[in-house]
Chain A
């Protein structure tokens, strides 16, 4: 364990922000760190705390070699504070200050707006670790367990990154907010996490893969827009977080892909042609494709809600202030101010879903959501390639964005996955085919038995094509501590 009393922050915390000479931040981190370690220890079951996990640790921001792989006990993980390299002469990319030098200090007039954005982002990072805290017990392989923990420690590092910004730039308020990030907890009655999707349970590994594919991708989009921030330290922080986030989505995409691969394999082996022959497919202990589709529907739509209202003044203010940009702002060919531009957003006209033009400034959320949907469709295409290659007649689809929404113009209205407004009765009849039922959950749970032997995989998931850090198939990714 780390000696809490004598943490040498400059040597133990990989950083490129001159921590050792920043007494202000050091003092704040010293106060915050014990609470963080407690949070971590309370969260992850003891035997996993003591296990040696083959993890990558970010030690620099050099694109050629920013990470180091080694066995480490999670509480001793070196959560670093790393910002992407400083770009000389960086300008504020958008809004009314576009073209002015990027802020190196918090501009007083946007302090609260910035703080709120950082707190919201920061709140999601530990939330997902909380949501996934029991999954180690049912890991389908040591490889997957290692991936879970890798995602977890990196979400922990992302929390650090946000806490660093709060400590460094937001004074007393910032320290209080940093403490509150540890006080709130996912699903808690008393102090839940700030965003809905981060209070939902992640009860099984299919959920975990869907979550890392869809919800971490929302995280990616939010980080992409914050990476465009005129507040340079935030931009640099988020740019570096994106390099790690890519791995999380990789875990999600390949996880779902391996499930599909295994299901196809079992269907073929047993001569099952009809993907809807659910009972038979399940009798072989694999996940049927309709259930995979239902889980996809759920996680995609929950993630869409994270983008907020289609038309939003908050988002407009943040963009106009230069606090938050659009996805790939620098590649967009316009004035980056959106004074007279329009953008088409989803709306309801009677029963029909339409798009209508609104001032582009107010449609920042909608635009990011559209970018997200495009981004999310890529992996779905690759999953369908697996099905195609296996010769299974089934196609996974992103549901219509009106389906199953709690936020925005479609909120709490009965749409089917094709985006058609249906009657209550039609909805009740259809929903069991659209969203996972409790029975589906029971079945998935029944498959969740751990496989702790190196090189072995649970029967419902195929092994990965290649190992992490190019390790061989029987590599012991986690040396379990069996107390």
Chain B
């Protein structure tokens, strides 16, 4: 990642971070809509930091800035489906973006830094994927210095244009300046996406001032270098061209209304379809996903009319918010238990309306959003377990949760005094390709990496509600327990899990979750992040004489020269 000196780290733990925002509350970004092109200006309010103790100078960002960006990207897709091209620019003179705020990083706790980086990574992945997923292409129009996290923003765009004004440059100065890595995908995108030759990448990442003009183009660091005099004009022109070439389905957007939630004194959170129950003593949180509370829309028009109140979109928004809330605000709840209650048939009916209308932009966006939420679950550094109880509705889209978690337990047979419908798991088409993980495989493919035939065989079971023995035989759950064993086995598993070292759990789970091939995404979340987090623990970066702490003092970091 990018930067740091010192603020009062204490402030970072006490404040509840709210990921819900809307355009009326933006302080750092503005969007101008111009038909099928949207112009997105980064114009960070230097007094608008999420915490005290630092100024967001030179378009540097903190989590608050990124929360707004994530909101913009999300609304772009749901509220502005007419937009085919988004042009990201700076609202300031002479600087595009200086990256993450260094004083903020210097003062932040390790956990906050890690979660901040994860969220910014997820946001960058989201707008990067917008072209493929939704036909919304992001152009980055770079004027002024574009360094560190700033260039990482550009790297995640689909097309980078740099003005040739003899001063504007792109740079990844983290290593020479701060002794940390360009960790928000920077290193990985330079090699894997832009395919910069490794020796040039090595040079590029070692020089503070970066690369400008023709060389930036020659080295594939940007897609186009434009004379300064015609820069704005050319950017507008490119935007129009790209928009014209797009076959993106459009329509009238829907409004993403405020997300209602209530937080109880004990920290439990209630949404309309998601319940988050906190058990602080056992360091556990239970997320209950409710099945549909209304019948599936009878037509695609009705789905549009329901808009943000339609079932899966509402569920996705609520779950997404719940996960983010837990990540940033509830660090000690190490065990996340997923359960569901509702009618699996109804879940499948809602899902069917979406999959039957693939050509409709909203149906498509909702499914794409669910894909992103699932990925968010995948990379959540908590022990994840699913309980398939009687009365649950793990079918199709919701069944995906079962293979996102680390373990799953299912009720087998009748339970005394329990008259809910017997627990089942139901597969649907969406489980076989609609929701790839970061490794570009489906969760079922990843689960059955050693027996690809098993995935094929499972296709034969689509639509069949599988009770415990069948689900177990099919390898869809970890263990099944009957009435006699259930309570004890579950309790003991949870107690055991909560007793392990959180560090070891995080590391073990992250390693086990993403079997199979590496992709740019897994390399960012795995390799790059792990190395960055290693550096974040090392005195050369974060020690009292480390580069992050000394940044801005005029004195260089004092390094221990021993290679580890």
Residues of A near any B CB (own CB < 8 A) = 23-24, 27-28, 105-109, 111-112, 169, 171-172
Contact = CB atoms under 8 A, between A and B. Distances in A.
Interface in B5-31: none
B494 A171 contact: no
Contacts of A109: 495-496, 498-500
B493 A172 contact: no
Interface stretch (B51-59, B447-455, B483-491): B483-491
Most buried by A among B479, B484, B494: B484
Contact of A172 (B485, B495, B498): B485
B489 A172 contact: yes
> Interface SS of chain A: helix, strand, loop or mixed?
helix
A108 B485 contact: no
A107 B493 CA distance: 10
B484 A106 contact: no
B494 A108 contact: yes
A125 B447 CA distance: 42
Interface string B328-354: 000000000000000000000000000
A107 B495 contact: yes
B484 A27 contact: yes
Nearest to A175: B485
B354 to A, nearest CB: 39
Contacts of B493: 108
B555 interface: no
A171 B488 contact: yes
B481 interface: yes
Interface of B: 479, 481, 484-485, 488-489, 491-500
A172 B499 contact: no
A107 B491 CA distance: 9
B496 A171 contact: no
A171 B495 CA distance: 15
A172 B492 contact: no
Given A23-B484, A172-B485, A108 B479 contact: no
B494 A172 contact: no
Given A24-B484, A24-B485, A27-B484, A172 B496 contact: no
A171 B498 contact: no
B484 A108 contact: no
9 contacts: A23-B484, A108-B497, A109-B495, A109-B498, A109-B500, A169-B488, A171-B485, A171-B489, A172-B485
Nearest to A23: B484
Given A171-B485, A172-B489, 18 more contacts: A23-B484, A24-B484, A24-B485, A28-B484, A106-B492, A107-B495, A108-B491, A108-B492, A108-B495, A108-B499, A109-B495, A109-B496, A109-B499, A111-B492, A111-B496, A112-B496, A171-B489, A172-B479
A269 B460 CA distance: 89
Contacts of A106: 492
Given A108-B499, A109-B499, A111-B496, A172 B481 contact: yes
A178 B493 CA distance: 20
Contacts of A108: 491-499
A28 to B, nearest CB: 8
Contact of B481 (A28, A169, A171): A171
Contacts of B498: 108-109
Nearest to A108: B495
A85 B500 CA distance: 34
A112 B499 CA distance: 12
Most buried by B among A24, A108, A112: A108
Nearest to A168: B488
Nearest to A25: B484
A28 B488 CA distance: 15
A19 to B, nearest CB: 14
A110 to B, nearest CB: 8
- The 3 A-B residue pairs with the shortest CB-CB distance in the complex, in nearest-first order: A108-B495, A109-B499, A24-B484
Contacts of B492: 106, 108, 111, 171
A105 B494 CA distance: 14
B248 to A, nearest CB: 52
Contacts of A172: 479, 481, 485, 489
Contacts of B491: 105, 108
A107 B485 CA distance: 16
Nearest to B416: A23
Nearest to B495: A108
Contacts of A107: 495
Contacts of B494: 108
A28 B484 CA distance: 10
Contacts of B497: 108
Nearest to B492: A108
Contacts of A112: 496
B182 to A, nearest CB: 40
B496 to A, nearest CB: 4
A170 to B, nearest CB: 8
A319 to B, nearest CB: 17
A111 B489 CA distance: 11
Nearest to B496: A108
A309 B494 CA distance: 33
A107 B496 CA distance: 8
Contacts of B484: 23-24, 27-28
Most buried by B among A107, A111, A172: A172
A112 B492 CA distance: 10
Contacts of A24: 484-485
Nearest to A112: B496
A106 B494 CA distance: 12
A375 B500 CA distance: 39
A136 B497 CA distance: 50
B501 to A, nearest CB: 11
A352 to B, nearest CB: 41
